[in-house]
């Protein structure tokens, strides 16, 4: 699919690759625990080579279509074996605007508080149930990561991103 040189230049496919390899590292401890940053550097190359050594020889360090498909297939199998995530957001068109209040913000703010200890860019804030300045900052940060308009509104897309980050960095990161 991509040569190593191409992957160095394209952020989102690399970030997706790193996210899959990071999730696999919790099931397969020989894989390094990557931080999805979109840069195909030495840690990512090492993870690809270790994956190839164990699951998909030959070891080349290149991520062609076959290697990508093998990583994605194992990633999907691993996800299927995991418990379903908490489905606590109302979904649909439900959103919480700046200065709005909602019981759903308690959980979102708690996740942001935990992530603030692990990720640069996340402000520690209070758990108030109100979409205050710190919560809006954190929502805009999330929305920026996903390439979405930075509105500071808690919506389904922001919730999904927050839940994934919490699962990767807090739930699985504490092992």
Any domain includes 49: yes
Task: Note the pLDDT of residue 84.
Answer: 54
Joined tokens for residue 137: 């900052």
Any domain includes 89: no
Query: Does residue 118 share a domain with residue 75?
Result: no
Query: Does residue 20 share a domain with residue 71?
Result: yes
pLDDT band with cut points at 50, 70 and 90 for residue 7:
very low
**What are the phi and psi torsion angles at 151 (to 5°)?**
-95, -25
Query: Does residue 61 share a domain with residue 12?
Result: yes
Query: Does residue 13 share a domain with residue 75?
Result: yes
Any domain includes 90: no
pLDDT exceeds 80 at position 8: no
Kindly state the average pLDDT of the residues 91-108.
93
Closest to 128 (Cα-Cα) out of 171, 99, 163, 95:
99
pLDDT exceeds 90 at position 3: no
Query: Does residue 130 share a domain with residue 69?
Result: no
Of the candidates 81, 115, 135, which is a domain's last residue? Answer: 81
- Per the structure, the complete domain to which residue 142 belongs is given by 104-171
Task: Note the pLDDT of residue 101.
Answer: 96
Q: Are the C-beta atoms of residues 112 and 162 closer than 8 Å to each other? A: yes
Task: Note the pLDDT of residue 38.
Answer: 87
In the chain, the number of structural domains is 2
Query: Does residue 129 share a domain with residue 72?
Result: no
Any domain includes 91: no
Query: Does residue 111 share a domain with residue 154?
Result: yes
Query: Per-residue pLDDT tens for 29-71?
Result: 999 999 888 889 999 999 999 999 999 999 999 999 999 999 9
């Amino acid at each position: 699919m991509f040569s190593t040189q191409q992957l160095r230049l394209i952020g989102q496919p690399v970030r997706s690759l790193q996210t899959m390899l990071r999730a696999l590292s919790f099931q397969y401890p020989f894989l390094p625990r990557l931080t999805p940053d979109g840069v195909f550097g030495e840690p990512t190359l090492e993870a690809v080579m270790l994956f190839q050594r164990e699951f998909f020889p030959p070891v080349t360090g290149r991520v062609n279509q076959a290697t990508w498909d093998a990583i994605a297939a194992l990633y999907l199998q691993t996800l299927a074996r995991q418990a379903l995530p908490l489905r606590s957001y109302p979904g649909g068109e439900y959103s919480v605007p700046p200065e709005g209040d909602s019981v759903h913000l308690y959980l979102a703010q708690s996740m942001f508080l935990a992530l603030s200890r692990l990720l640069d860019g996340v402000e520690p804030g209070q758990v108030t149930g109100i979409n205050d300045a710190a919560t809006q900052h954190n929502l805009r940060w999330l929305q920026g990561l996903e390439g979405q308009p930075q509105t500071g509104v808690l919506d389904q897309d922001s919730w999904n991103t927050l839940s994934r980050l919490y699962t990767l960095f807090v739930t699985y990161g504490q092992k």
